[in-house]
Structure 1
Amino acid sequence: MMNKAQTFVPVAVGAALILIVAAWALPTWNFVISIGLAKGLAVLGLVLMMRAGLVSFGQGLYYAIGGYCVGLMVNLWKINEAVLLLIAPVIIAAATAAVAGLLLSRYRDIFFAMLTLALSMLLYGLLVKSVELGGTDGFNIRGVTLFGLPLSGTARFNGLVILVLICFTAVITVWCFGKTALGRLLPGIKDNEIRVEYLGASASKTIYLSYILAAILAAVGGSMSGILVAHVDPEMAFWATSGEFVVIAVLAGTGNIFTPFIAALALEFVRTFAYQHAPNTWQLVLGVIILSMILFLPTGLGGVRFGKRKATVEAGEKA
């Protein structure tokens, strides 16, 4: 356990520093990196649920809750301090997930997926029809600061640094959760839930807590997306957004905790390059790349290292 921690923490710190240096050296890519990391937070929670064999098509619900909480606090209540802007979405998302999770933790497979999608589309319909919430246009978010330090606009790099630190904290949190008794139950629930119940553990409780943690991660990602993009709209809760999170999660796989961010960043860079060089067919280019990755990496990016480790273990056993 200690050896794994000694290896994991330096890797996480190194990844965070590389992102910060890359953003500083390539300021024109700050926006792309910011969007990729914000989506990576939502995907990290989704991957956590996938370890239990559940796919949520409703992460856009909490992604939008995070963004709109920030937008409402800035525009209606004139609160611009980032600490307060990030705490409120976490509380609201956790409370919402705590209520929704009471129902969702009872369902599995396609029923779980469709219920999460339905909840997300309920919020989408509310946002579209509500003039007070900006309707279909949404609204802008301006003037967010952290202890007086601007985080958006020309100072987006400052916000990106904060986002990298948040991602670092999220990775450590999920990694620690995975080492707990409840976290270790997730693969067991996916393989054989009945056996988990026979062992005296509660599969529903484990899924319930994982769902709340995934909701918090998505809300923080939506909050930072709203701050750095300086705009929120109902599309954050639309099924296409949740579907994109699922695609990224499939590309990332569940074998590694860093791959949700790698896959999200890769998808954003590919989308940007495809749009620049093939503006009329960029969706086709993106689709071909995604299908190729699914074909040649069926277990996702996280399965690459896992496959090597598994092969090594099998070779050792044969020897």
Structure 2
Amino acid sequence: MRTEIALFAAAVAVAFAGWLSPDWLSFLLTLAFAKALVVTGVVVQMRVGLVTFGQALFYCIGGYAAGLGAQYLGVHDAFVLLAAGVGISVLVAAVCGLLLARYRDIFFAMLTMALSMILFGVLVKSSALGSTDGFNVATPTYFGWEPSPEGAKRMVFLLTVAVSAFAAIVFHRLMNSGLGLVTEAIRENEIRVEYLGVSPRAVIYANYLAAAAVSALGGGLTALATGHIDPDMAFWTTSGEFVFIAILGGTGHVAAAFVAAIVFAAVRTFAIQEAPHTWQLTLGVVLLVLIIFLPKGLWSLVSRKKHAAPVQPVAPATTSEAAA
């Protein structure tokens, strides 16, 4: 319960600070939190021992659901658009998961990437959806209320923080539930888990659905924040970015994805500003340093300090105690 209260308090603090900060900073935090939701989906699968290079599939579905709902169906409510993205992503994951739950290691990673690239190829060839250019997403409303053009970005920021706080609390409970503990057992020894009467394939399938849902939320919020979507949302480099952030933060805590996403956004923004032609090199150096000095991610700094309890000195025994 203390962790959930801390997550809620952190979300309130970020929302308050972002509301008072410049527009560029609140926009940066919006995108960082939206991507952190997708990274949470990656981390959930990493805890079961699977690395996905195709999480951009659901990120893209969430974004395009928001854009298509507003442009072709006349739906502008942000909550309806996000729910539509989550629903479609879960349906797609329910079908794809039947195949993916059978595979492990590099085969799982390559199959997820292949599915994501199929969607990318379909979108690139669809002139009705803007092909490689994509199309713009209309400004969302909130239960019928439409904010002013000046406050629209701020409202998306607050929505993103609220959704992120809710998702973080839910996934914190999930990771510490029986299902979450079973995922770690599957990562260590899948055969023994099966001997205990638990189906590893069913657990992996459920994890895949949960990861798809939270990733769609991230894609939908990104579309609402930027006001534009394009096929690059499904490209393999986008999935690689999510894996990068997951490694940067580590899998020790649900908050690690959000901390890492903010750090990643700050480093990339600084690198692009100072060295626009070699910013990828800067990110590569950061990842290399991380692997060498923090193989378990940034969150290992917090967990290391938390578990480093001071050693209490042992008082020498008195004469009477020794005699007794």
The two structures have a TM-score, normalised by structure 2, of 0.92
Pairs aligned (count): 312
Which sits farther off after the overlay, 7-16 or 238-247? Answer: 7-16
Aligned residue for 1:119? 115
Distance in 2, matches of 1:233 and 1:152, equals 23
Mapping for residues 268-283 of structure 1, pairs under 5 Å: 268-283=265-280
Structure 2 residue 63 is matched with structure 1 residue 67: yes
The answer to whether the 8 Å contact 1:141/1:231 transfers is yes
- Residue 284 of structure 1: how far off its partner (Å): 2.1
Aligned residue for 1:300? 297
Mapping for residues 154-303 of structure 1, pairs under 5 Å: 154-303=151-300
The answer to whether the 8 Å contact 2:139/2:152 transfers is no
Secondary structure class of the residue paired with 1:121 = helix
The answer to whether the 8 Å contact 2:132/2:230 transfers is yes
Structure 2 residue 106 is matched with structure 1 residue 110: yes
Secondary structure class of the residue paired with 1:280 = coil
The answer to whether the 8 Å contact 1:152/1:159 transfers is no
Q: For 2:94, which of 92, 98, 116 is the aligned residue?
A: 98
Q: Which runs of 5+ in 1 are unaligned?
A: none
Q: Greater CA radius of gyration, 1 or 2?
A: 2
Amino acid at match of 1:268: A
Q: Report the identity percentage.
A: 46
Structure 2 residue 13 is matched with structure 1 residue 18: yes
The structure-2 alpha-carbon separation of the partners of 1:290 and 1:153, relative to structure 1 and needing over 3 Å to count, comes to farther
Secondary structure class of the residue paired with 2:132 = coil
Secondary structure class of the residue paired with 2:53 = coil
Q: For 1:79, which of 68, 75, 79 is the aligned residue?
A: 75
The two structures have a TM-score, normalised by structure 1, of 0.93
Amino acid at match of 1:60: A
Distance in 2, matches of 1:96 and 1:177, equals 22
Structure 2 residue 136 is matched with structure 1 residue 137: no
Q: Cα deviations across residues 200-251 of structure 1 (Å, max 9, x unaligned)?
A: 1111111100100000011010000000100000000000000000000011
Greater fraction helix: 1
- Residue 307 of structure 1: how far off its partner (Å): 3.3
Q: Which runs of 5+ in 2 are unaligned?
A: 313-324
Q: Cα deviations across residues 269-296 of structure 1 (Å, max 9, x unaligned)?
A: 1111111222233222222222212221
Distance in 1, matches of 2:249 and 2:47, equals 12
Distance in 1, matches of 2:228 and 2:109, equals 28
Alignment root-mean-square deviation, CA: 1.9
Q: Cα deviations across residues 241-265 of structure 1 (Å, max 9, x unaligned)?
A: 0000000001111111101011011
Mapping for residues 44-59 of structure 1, pairs under 5 Å: 44-59=40-55
- Residue 137 of structure 1: how far off its partner (Å): 0.3
Amino acid at match of 1:306: S
